[in-house]
Structure 1
Amino acid sequence: MQLIRHSASRDLRVDFFRGLALWWIYTDHIPGNVLAQISLRNFALCDATEVFVLLAGYGAGLSYGMRLRAHGYVSTAADVLRRAWTLYVAHIFLFVLFSAQVTYSATLLNRINYLEESRLDVLGDDPYRSILEAVLLRFQPSLLNILPLYVALMVFFALTIWLLRWPRVLFGVSFALYLVVRFTSLNLGAWGDEGWFFDPFAWQFLFVIGVLLACAPMRMPRYPRPLDVAAVVMLLIGAVVMTVILPQPHLLEWFSSSPLRLLVTEDKTGLYPFRLTSILALTWLCVRFIRFDASWLRSRWAAPLVLLGQNSLSVFCGGIVLGFVARIALEYDDHLPMQVAINLSGAFGMIGLGALAAWYRTKDRKLTRGAPTASSTTSATATALLPLNVRADTG
């Protein structure tokens, strides 16, 4: 059974890098994991979150841009909101599962710091209010703030998808909202905090850029070399900041008191401009130097990451749970054998979840194709809609 989706029009670069982002999220969330030292966040002014959001926008643009042309705004917006609801349900399920996992581990192992670090200690102090706030997405424990952002971005997309007919207008509205955040710190309210950890009013700009790259791709400039050089310089600056300046307090202090302080200002919540330009520079170089039909994307060694990227929701949720188990294991033994064990088990666990999700999807499609129909009209309609559903399924 073919678990990885291949087609002439499918861009496996998106699946591969989305899978890589999911792997980075897993490694970065485990304190003491040696593989976390070689993730994107150590060498650039951006990390897996930017990769994930940009590609989420790209996937949404591919999936729903075609539907907008075929079925109009109301039907397409309803489909987007249905996807937002799926993400919301997944987040609530993950919240319950992760809360049970952390609180049980904290009690069994007498590690109260688990509750404090994950911000789940309020479950004991004010359980009824905390559950209500979690349902309203105003209470987001540590590690559980990406899916609420994704839900908010999909709702924003549903409200603005009609502007895809005028891409420049959509870009202008999105950029204006981003500027408002930069100057006013506009954010959604959170329980016990000033706002969401990932400000959706800021991050929507990166999401919309991904949408527009899918639905209204820019023409390649006649002379792309200057942009190549600018992108490389931007990434080199990020590498210097992350590997040279930030680890040395005296350099960090000098930069903090100089006009260059914006280079070392960490504002992940509001997606500060250097994070934004870093991920765009990285995207430009990937598009320029990795061909759409690159043979290595269909190779066996790339297949695991492609599989993860094509089943991102299941893999992300499973990765959060597996990551906490790996953290507990490393606290008892952080030597090389345990490092190998937690990363191999995490990799195989996430691949297994991706394969299971792909198998269910493949099985359901086969049942749909083989199901008896009441009339020839119904059969023809189902056949006509099937390719659209296949293309729309972005994992």
Structure 2
Amino acid sequence: MEGSLATQQATRPAAAPKRERDLRADLFRGLALWFIFIDHVPGNWLANLTIRNVTLCDATEVFVLLAGYAAGIAYGGTLLREGWLFAAAQVVRRVGSLYVAHIVLFVMFTAQVGYSAAALQDSIYIDELHLDAFGQEPYRALLEALLLRFQPAFLNILPLYIVLLLQFALTLPLLRRPRLLLAISCALYGVTRWFSLELPSWTGGGWFFNPFAWQVLFCVGLTLGYRAPGGPGPLLVLPWWRSLGALAVAWLIVTFVLLYMTWHRPEYAVQVPGWVMSWWENVDKTALHPFRLVSVLALTYLLAHWVRPEARWLRGAAAWPFVLMGKQGLPVFCSGILFAFFARLALEYSDDAPMQIGANLAGLASLVAVGWLSDWYKKRERTPRREADPALAERAA
């Protein structure tokens, strides 16, 4: 009996050791969520200081990459412990949470924008945010929103995330072979860009974020987050770090110079060679142009080496608000979409310095408050409930 039990225990797969939370991922995801809020407010002076102004990528790329990184950590460990079926079920459950959050956000955002447009008697909000189709065919628009085929402005990131996770649920076993997973992902990315593959949308054209292209960034995050038993990650630890680091720095400098000459100071664009401008103008975000992909990977590679996971300042007061927001990414993201529209209304009323400062501080404080409340609730939910007082139970009986 004891021998058979020992044999069964020996044949079981070794449980994956529990990894400490990587506060770097939380920090940069929190910063990305804050940048998304800032960039969604027209006329916001802080929008001149976000990541999109210094390199050829923005907070969306960071958000998707870190979403893949977090998925690689969480579901990779479940895959090792429980197998593919249970891990895939957890991914599908997460998809359900995201879907519900997206529909609730869609309803609230549509009501927010529609009421503001009616109250101010100005349809510019409806037109700019691509909600005019909802006013023309509300029932059809609601159905298409449920099918993820109707995506107004600012409401296209969660549908992308949902499809990426559904793809991940099917390809979970490949996480054990990260290089094969990356090879398949890159092949799909190349085919998508070459043949212009896309998912159709109700209003015409394809999705603003093409999942067939953006999956490559998500898969890179997966392979960075996944850890095979007894081994380091497959990509972060490389012997030629200094050479790759130098190339990454050079690439980011070149793209910053081009951004400065074509976006910040367009009068200098005449000094850029014509052949450079021809491909520079074709750098698209919808299908994740290779230059955008290289930019976010270069930035990630440098930060992964420069910011160590054991750095004390990650646990300091200055980093705390962004780490907190990064831990509670879904509620903070959804709230940020709604808060950004309120900030827009405030800056349209007055865009002087006091209002700029007030709108941005109020927005950041609101995001931190949402993150804190969500974190507090989850901690209380995980805390075992105290047993009822025996004296009270006897008195009640």
What TM-score do the two structures reach when normalised by structure 1? 0.89
1:22-171 mapped onto 2 (5 Å cutoff): 22-171=33-182
Contact 2:236 2:301 in 1 (8 A): no
1:331-342 mapped onto 2 (5 Å cutoff): 331-342=348-359
User: What are the superposed Cα offsets for residues 47-66 of structure 1, whole Å, 9 maximum, x if unpaired?
Assistant: 00000000000000000001
SS at match of 1:258: helix
Match of 1:220 among 214, 237, 256: 237
**Paired residue type of 1:84:** V
2:185 corresponds to which residue?
Answer: 174
**Paired residue type of 1:108:** A
The structure whose Rg is larger is 2
User: What are the superposed Cα offsets for residues 307-347 of structure 1, whole Å, 9 maximum, x if unpaired?
Assistant: 00000100001111010000011011000000011001101
Alignment pair present for 1:189 and 2:206: no
Distance (whole Å) between structure 1 residues aligned to residue 314 and residue 142 of structure 2:
43
Distance (whole Å) between structure 1 residues aligned to residue 301 and residue 350 of structure 2:
41
User: What are the superposed Cα offsets for residues 352-383 of structure 1, whole Å, 9 maximum, x if unpaired?
Assistant: 10011001101101136x579xxxxxxxxxxx
2:10 corresponds to which residue?
Answer: none
1:348 corresponds to which residue?
Answer: 365
User: What are the superposed Cα offsets for residues 17-46 of structure 1, whole Å, 9 maximum, x if unpaired?
Assistant: 000000000000000000111000011000
Distance (whole Å) between structure 1 residues aligned to residue 47 and residue 127 of structure 2:
22
Distance (whole Å) between structure 1 residues aligned to residue 242 and residue 182 of structure 2:
25
1:379 corresponds to which residue?
Answer: none
Distance (whole Å) between structure 2 residues aligned to residue 241 and residue 270 of structure 1:
21
Comparing 263-272 and 73-82, the one that deviates more: 263-272
Distance (whole Å) between structure 1 residues aligned to residue 236 and residue 314 of structure 2:
24
Identity of aligned residues (%): 49
User: What are the superposed Cα offsets for residues 94-144 of structure 1, whole Å, 9 maximum, x if unpaired?
Assistant: 000000000000000111000011111111211111111000000000010
Structure 2: segments with no counterpart, 5+ residues: 1-17, 228-232, 389-397
Match of 2:379 among 362, 387, 393: 362
What TM-score do the two structures reach when normalised by structure 2? 0.89
Distance (whole Å) between structure 1 residues aligned to residue 276 and residue 366 of structure 2:
47
Distance (whole Å) between structure 2 residues aligned to residue 93 and residue 299 of structure 1:
34
Contact 2:261 2:269 in 1 (8 A): no
**Paired residue type of 1:220:** V
Alignment pair present for 1:268 and 2:285: yes
**Paired residue type of 2:205:** E
SS at match of 1:367: coil
Distance (whole Å) between structure 1 residues aligned to residue 217 and residue 290 of structure 2:
11
Change (3 A) 1:269 1:225: same
Structure 1: segments with no counterpart, 5+ residues: 1-6, 373-395
1:293-312 mapped onto 2 (5 Å cutoff): 293-312=310-329
Alignment pair present for 1:322 and 2:334: no
Contact 1:255 1:264 in 2 (8 A): no
**Paired residue type of 1:59:** A
SS at match of 1:188: coil
Match of 2:309 among 292, 313, 328: 292
Distance (whole Å) between structure 2 residues aligned to residue 219 and residue 312 of structure 1:
24
Aligned residues between the structures: 365
**Paired residue type of 1:331:** E
Distance (whole Å) between structure 2 residues aligned to residue 8 and residue 126 of structure 1:
50
Distance (whole Å) between structure 2 residues aligned to residue 183 and residue 251 of structure 1:
32
Distance (whole Å) between structure 2 residues aligned to residue 299 and residue 93 of structure 1:
34
1:390 corresponds to which residue?
Answer: none
